[in-house]
Amino acid sequence: MDLTSVARRAWVAPLLLGLALTGCGKGPWNNPHPPPVDDGITYQSMFTPAPPKHLDPAVSYASDESLFLMQIYEPPMGYHFLKRPYELIPLGAEDFPEVEYLNADGVVIDPSQGEVAFTRYTLTLREDAHYQPHPAFARDDSGDPLYRFDDPEKGRRYRQIGDFPETGSRPVRAEDYVYAIKRLADPYLGSPMLGFMGQYIVGMREFSEQVQTAERGQWLDLDTFDMRGLQVLDERRYRITIHGRYPQFVYWLAMHFFAPIPREVDRFFHNPGFADRNLTLDWWPVGSGPFMMVKNDPNSEIVLERNPNFRADFYPTEGAPGDAEAGLLADAGKRLPMIDRAVFRLEKEVLSLWTKFLQGYYDRSGETHGNTNGVFDQAFVVGPDGVELSEELAGHGITITPDVKPGIYYYGFNMRDPVLGGYSEERRKLRRALQIAFDTEEYLNIFYKGNGIPAHSPIPPGIPGHVEGEAGINPYVYDWVDGEARRKPIEEARRLLAEAGYPNGRHAETGEPLRIFMDVQSQAISNTSMNWIRRAFERIGVQVEYRPADWNRTREKLLTGNTQIYSHGWLADYPDPENFLFLLYSPESPLICECDGANNSSYERPEYDELFRRMRVLPPGPEREALVARMVEMYREDAVWLYAYYPKDIYLNNPWVHNNKRHGISKNTLKYVRIDDAMRQQKRVAWNQPVTWPLYAGGGLVVALLLPGVLAYRRRLRATARLRG
């Protein structure tokens, strides 16, 4: 081997690499997507940071999973895409459910005239709903299911849903919706709804106990058991009966838990050996929605395709104020969905996700999260009008979609704590002093890049009961100055603290400093933010001690009330104030219900509880609004939470993506997305021209490194022995 030839060959490597990259096919070299399978329009997106765990609509309870489920399944109800406050609309059902109230004898009554023992919901399905093509519906010539095996060997060659050559379909029937609710009650599935819905749907608990003791062979046909609260009236109508009155039940009908599951699909996935190849309903959803899952490789990508059997559905013709000006009604009346395929790729790291978005390979910056926090400084600049896009992004034509989540994060006081808890005026003042000292605005700006709105009440924007402006501020913590809410000065906190018996943060009698204890989840808080909080309270002479723990230990403390200040959060299941105000309803206290209740502060005020009970059964209207306002006032008066904020997220969209309005509650918005494919192609090419000089420079560097060695080597070979002296 001659080193000179090695050096010569070093030129060849980058050249070959260059040639190889040039041969990548059409388009830029760095395109991470495989060539399109056809001419249809594909929406390119991602899921992050981990694959979904469950895709069974009875089991899944995570927004990252709803992203897929809500494109595939159609529950009876849904939400209007554009209108705010959020508006419920029929989806799988033809109309809103017909509601009847019954007394204890099962007789229909007027709810204002007598004691309501049961509420009965009758739902009528739309005629045109059909399931996606699926092998579970395939039949042989004699009408029997084509893929029903009694031996695992017979089905061994099928590893993916696409491996089954034959598929079928059928209309959606009322019995499928009923079967889905029965699955919620099957203890073997472990649905999170079993415990909660079991207290409402008549006969659900008994059904669950029956099923639990039943002999479970290869497959358990749930239709062999009856649930008293469920009735199939005919092919298109069914009834659900619940205990008492729970008007919010109709919101639950908009969640995937209540989407139809055909019995034959459940049977299909119980073929022997299927589960060993991950052929389960938990991984291959089957629905009647606008899309169907054609590939599920949770390690890499999930692909949805347009369901050819999807009913006639159209883009809304009305929206919220400002939607028309924002171009959100440009597609009014158009047939949905407006894309043919959606590919979601697993992205674990922000750098690669962000780079692909900027290179135009992802259409939007995120689905369930905006993914802009980690790259905030690259994406945004703070201008006179607040946060604005950086010059580079604005030049790309990227648009912003802010999204205030219908949720709340907070640090709550334990109202049973001997130091901070209680309902005396001193204790209220003490808590208010701490509330004022905790500058939520500054905290959010520093640690959340301003992605949060300080909360003045437990009810976030977009939910009835949330009040903006002067009328909506917490007057115990804020003043209304120059048209905006301004936190009271720190002197006010010191004054309140002194009145509470802690002048300068020390006990008036003992002189002991006031020390407060905060239970924090070690993974959710940084040292810098803990230091910030410590300093915030030092301003009024209060000392802070942290008790970090993981979620399981934190949960144990909450269940036993062994906490003074704790952190928690709540994301709404449905857009009703009841879904937030119940966080302070005393029967929800873990110490009272001896359960995993939501009132972790153990707030107990009989008046609040009474108003809550009245409010939860009232229809929307002034009377209900007045009750909600009074409950919010009590929350402020008693200073139950140290601080709270509504989480905000910023999504970015490439210029070829249209109809980007975010829906805080529902995830079935993919069908509204429109892509300008021609613009996308053109921009991708323009933005991704490879820089080739580094290839040649690299080759040159290798040669430059080798050359001295080669020369020295040659010199050594030519060297002759010299005699000294």
Contact indicator for 31, 361 with CB cutoff of 8 Å: yes
- Local structure of 101: helix, strand or coil: strand
Six-digit token pair at 138?
């395939």
Shortest Cβ 188–another protein spacing (Å): 6
Site for another protein, residues 57 to 76, rule: CB under 8 A: 61-62
Among 19, 312, 481, 717, binds another protein (CB under 8 A): 717
Which residues 6+ apart lie within 8 Å of 324 measured at CB? none
Q: What is the identity of the amino acid at 175?
A: E
User: Which segment (94-102, 284-292, 583-591, 706-714) binds another protein by CB under 8 A?
Assistant: 706-714
For residue 170, count other CB atoms closer than 10 A to its CB: 16
**Quick one: which of 694, 696, 701, 704 contacts another protein (CB under 8 A)?**
694
Q: Which helix (H) or strand (E) holds 614?
A: helix 606-617
Q: To which H or E segment does residue 78 belong? A: strand 77-79
* C-alpha pair distances (Å), 564 with each of 42, 97, 322, 417, 516: 51, 45, 45, 6, 7
Examine residue 246 and tell whether it contacts another protein (CB under 8 A).
no
CB of 187 to another protein, least distance (A): 5
Q: Distance between CA 637 and CA 633 in Å, rounded?
A: 6
Shortest distance (Å) from residue 31 CB to another protein: 7
The separation between the first and the last C-alpha atoms of the chain, rounded to the nearest angstrom, is 37
Least Cβ distance, residue 17 to another protein (angstroms)? 8
Give the residue with the Cβ less far from another protein, 188 or 314: 188
Closest CA to 403 of 474, 351, 461, 487: 461
Choose one: 44-52, 162-170, 410-418, 437-445; the region binding another protein (CB under 8 A): 44-52
List 134, 341, 356, 487, residue binding another protein (CB under 8 A): 356
Is 426 a binder of another protein (CB under 8 A)? no
Scanning residues 556 to 595, which ones bind another protein (CB under 8 A)? Answer: 573, 595
- Between the alpha carbon of residue 647 and those of residues 66, 80, 449, 561, 688, the distances in Å are 19, 22, 11, 26, 35
Choice between 348 and 507, CB closer to another protein? 348
Phi, psi of 575 (to 5 degrees): -85, 65
Find, among 413, 411, 410, the residue nearest to 423 by Cα: 413
Asked if 521 is part of the footprint of another protein (rule: CB under 8 A), the reply reads no
Q: Does 549 bind another protein (CB under 8 A)?
A: no
Q: Which of residues 98-117 bind another protein (CB under 8 A)?
A: none
Angle 350-355-358 from CA coordinates, rounded to 5°: 125
Q: Which of 162, 195, 489, 620 binds another protein (CB under 8 A)?
A: 195
Q: Please pick, from the candidates 122, 167, 248, 355, the single residue that binds another protein as defined by CB under 8 A.
A: 355
Q: CB of 339: closest distance to another protein in angstroms? A: 21
Residues 259-278 that bind another protein (CB under 8 A): 275-278
Nearer to another protein, 437 or 583 (CB): 583
Residues 7, 45, 51, 604: which binds another protein (CB under 8 A)?
51
E strands within 337-467? 341-346, 380-383, 386-389, 399-404, 407-413, 452-454
Closest CA to 249 of 595, 578, 681, 693: 578
Is 54 a binding residue for another protein by CB under 8 A? The answer is: yes
**392 is a contact residue toward another protein (CB under 8 A):** no
Does position 193 interact with another protein (CB under 8 A)? The reply is yes
291 contacts another protein (rule: CB under 8 A): no
The answer to whether the beta carbons of residues 694 and 29 sit under 8 Å apart is: no
Residues 465-504 that bind another protein (CB under 8 A): none
Does residue number 390 form part of the binding site for another protein (CB under 8 A)? no
Chosen residue from 196, 225, 376, 517 binding another protein by CB under 8 A: 196
Quick one: which of 346, 634, 679, 685 contacts another protein (CB under 8 A)?
346
Residue 187 binds another protein, judged by CB under 8 A: yes
- HSE, side-chain direction, 13 A CA sphere, residue 541: 20
Task: Give the range of 66-74, 137-145, 258-266, 704-712 binding another protein by CB under 8 A.
Answer: 704-712
- CB of 6: closest distance to another protein in angstroms? 9
The reply on whether position 13 binds another protein by CB under 8 A is no
Q: Cβ of 56: how many Cβ atoms within 10 Å?
A: 21
562: tokens are 């062994």
- How far is 9 from 618, CA to CA, in rounded Å? 82
Q: What angle do CA 174, 180, 184 make, to 5 degrees?
A: 145
- CA 475 vs CA 393, 400, 470, 607, 621: distances in Å: 40, 33, 9, 21, 25
Token pair for 237: 């109508």
Closer to another protein by CB, 505 or 597: give it. 597
Q: Residue 374 phi/psi, 5° resolution?
A: -70, -20
Residue 241 contacts another protein per CB under 8 A: no
From 21-29, 261-269, 450-458, 611-619, span contacting another protein (CB under 8 A): 21-29
Cα atoms found within 13 Å of the Cα of residue 24, Cβ hemisphere only: 14
Binding status of residue 163 toward another protein by CB under 8 A? no
- Does residue 701 interact with another protein by CB under 8 A? no
Q: Mark the segment that binds another protein (CB under 8 A) among 29-37, 93-101, 447-455, 494-502.
A: 29-37
Restricting to residues 633-692, name those near another protein by CB under 8 A. 688-692
C-alpha 430/C-alpha 425 separation (Å) is 9
Binding mask 596-625 for another protein (x = CB under 8 A): x-----------------------------
User: Which one, of 268, 276, 269, lies nearest residue 156 by Cα?
Assistant: 276
Q: Which of 216, 335, 348, 507 binds another protein (CB under 8 A)?
A: 348
Compare residues 81 and 354 and give the one whose CB is closer to another protein: 354
Length of the chain counted residue by residue: 725
User: For another protein, which is the closer residue by CB, 101 or 409?
Assistant: 409
Q: Name the minimum Å distance from CB 651 to another protein.
A: 21
In this chain, which of 157, 715, 716, 724 binds another protein, going by CB under 8 A? 716
342 vs 514, beta carbon nearer another protein: 342
Query: Is 179 a residue that touches another protein (CB under 8 A)?
Result: no
Task: Say which amino acid occupies 449.
Answer: K
> Is 282 one of the binding residues for another protein (CB under 8 A)?
yes
Q: Single out the residue of 13, 50, 686, 701 in contact with another protein (rule: CB under 8 A).
A: 50
CA 37 – CA 517 distance, rounded (Å): 59
Q: How many angstroms separate the CA atoms of 261 and 267, rounded?
A: 11
Total residues binding another protein (CB under 8 A): 72
Out of 74, 264, 347, 578, the residue judged to bind another protein by CB under 8 A: 347
* Cβ atoms of 360 and 368 closer than 8 Å: no
